[in-house]
Amino acid sequence: MATYRELMAQKQAIEAQLEEARASEVASVIEQIRDLMTQYNLSPEDVAPRRRRGRPSGAASTPHEKAPLPPKYMDAKTGKTWSGRGRAPAWLGKRPERF
């Protein structure tokens, strides 16, 4: 059975072989990609378009104001209204159906 040191030496030798094999293959792959790009007249943006942060390009650049909601409840005495959204006003009380 191999010792720990022997196994570590084998591991380092294999990792060195892996790096050499990868470096030689990567160079040929890059060359193939460049040849295909020139053959089909492609740019780097065609192959890998840049991703932008933030909102998509179709989104409006200037925020527009939202129209206020129509009131659902109205206090007949004071004329105050409430749309039904958010915290209920004190004048509404416990029975909103009265308004």
Query: Considering the entire predicted model, what is its pTM?
Result: 0.39
- What integer pLDDT is reported at residue 21 of this predicted model? 92
Secondary structure (3-state) at 62: coil
User: Tokens 């030689």 sit at which residue?
Assistant: 24
The residues spanned by each domain of the chain are: 1-42, 68-92
- What integer pLDDT is reported at residue 99 of this predicted model? 67
- What integer pLDDT is reported at residue 41 of this predicted model? 92
16-62 tens-digit pLDDT? 999 999 988 998 999 999 999 999 998 888 878 777 777 666 655 56
The whole-angstrom separation of Cα 70 and Cα 82 is 8
How much is the mean pLDDT over the chain? 83
- What integer pLDDT is reported at residue 86 of this predicted model? 83
Q: pLDDT exceeding 90 applies to what percent of the chain?
A: 35
- What integer pLDDT is reported at residue 6 of this predicted model? 92
What H or E segment, with its residue span, contains residue 26? helix 4-39
